[in-house]
Chains A and B, each alone.
Chain A
Amino acid sequence: MSFGGSTIIERSLLERLAEERLGDFETLMAAGRYAAAIYLGVYAVECLLKAHICKSLDLDALPETYEKHHLLVLLLHSGLNRRIQGMAVYDNLRKLDGMWNPADRARNIRYIDPSRYVREIAEMVRGWLVDPQNGVVTWLRSQL
C-alpha cells in the first residue's frame, strides 16, 4: 500500500517478512548459497527490530524516519538496548553487525566478495541468529 509516494510498512508485514526471510535463509543454506543466506538472515533481524520499533512507539506501521538498515541504531530506537546489555545475544548482534558494517554504514555484505562466505561461516551465523538460548532472532521473537 502506498500514499503520497511512500510505501507503508506495517508492523504485521515486518513480522511476516522476518519469518519469510528466515525461510529463505534455510533454503539458500541448503543450496550452498551462503552469502545470500547470511544477507537474508540478517535482513530478518532488521525486520524484527523494525517491528519492535513499531511496538515501542505503539504504531501499526513503521515511520519513514526509521527506514534505516544499521542493526545497532535500530536496536537503540527499539527500546531494547538496555534490556539486551550483558547478554550473549547482544554479542551475537554485534557479531552480525561487525561482519560488514565497519567505518562506513553504506558498506555491507552486498558488496563483499561472496567467496568470503563459506559454509563454516554460514553455520556460525545460523547460531548467532537462531540458537535456542542466545540467537538474536530467538530473543527478538520472545520480546515481541
Chain B
Amino acid sequence: MASQPALDPDVDRIREALAGLLTPGRPYRIEFIHGPWPFLRAILVSDDFEGMHVGQRQEWIWSRLRDGLDAKLNSRLFSVYPCTWNEARNEFEETDAGGLRARYGS
C-alpha cells in the first residue's frame, strides 16, 4: 500500500482541491493511498471535522467537491476518509516513506 504517488500531476490538483475545502490557516494533512490504478483514495486530516459525525463528513466533502474538481479528477478520486488530528493519531501510523497506514489492519 504505497502513499504519495510520484510524477502524477493529478494528485497535486486533487490535493489542492481538497485543501481548498478546509479553513485557511488551519493545520491539515492530506495523504493518498492507491486504489486500483488509476483510482486514488485520500485521507484528509483536519480539525474542521471536529463535531461532525461520519455521515456529515462525507456529505460535507462530496457536496463541495462536486464543484471543486473537474470530471476527470473527480472520477479518479475513489474515496475520501476525513478525520481529526486526534483520530488520525489513533487510527494511523507513519510509514517509513513518510505516509500513513491504518493501525488496525487484519
Q: A residues engaging B (CB < 8 A)?
A: 72-73, 76, 85-86, 91, 94-95, 97-104, 106-107, 111-112, 116-118, 120-121, 124-125
Contacts and interface: CB of A to CB of B under 8 A. Distances in A.
Contacts, number: 85
Contact of A121 (B54, B79, B83, B102): B54
B43 interface: yes
A103 B53 contact: no
B78 A125 contact: no
Contacts of B39: 72, 76
Contacts of B104: 104, 107, 111
B81 A102 contact: yes
Contacts of A95: 55, 58-59, 62
Give chain B's interface residue range (CB within 8 Å of chain A): 35 or more
Contact of A103 (B33, B54, B59, B74): B33
A112 B55 CA distance: 13
Given A103-B102, A104-B104, A72 B79 contact: yes
Given A72-B39, A94-B80, 6 more contacts: A91-B62, A95-B55, A97-B79, A98-B58, A120-B53, A124-B59
A98 B61 contact: yes
A130 to B, nearest CB: 15
Contacts of B56: 121, 124
Contacts of B86: none
Give the 5 A-B CB pairs with smallest separation, nearest first. A102-B81, A104-B102, A121-B55, A95-B58, A103-B102
Contacts of B55: 95, 99, 120-121, 124-125
A94 B79 CA distance: 6
B26 interface: no
A72 B106 contact: no
Nearest to B77: A94
A106 B78 contact: no
Of A102, A106, A124, A125, most buried by chain B (CB within 10 Å of CB) is A102
A15 B81 CA distance: 29
A104 B80 contact: no
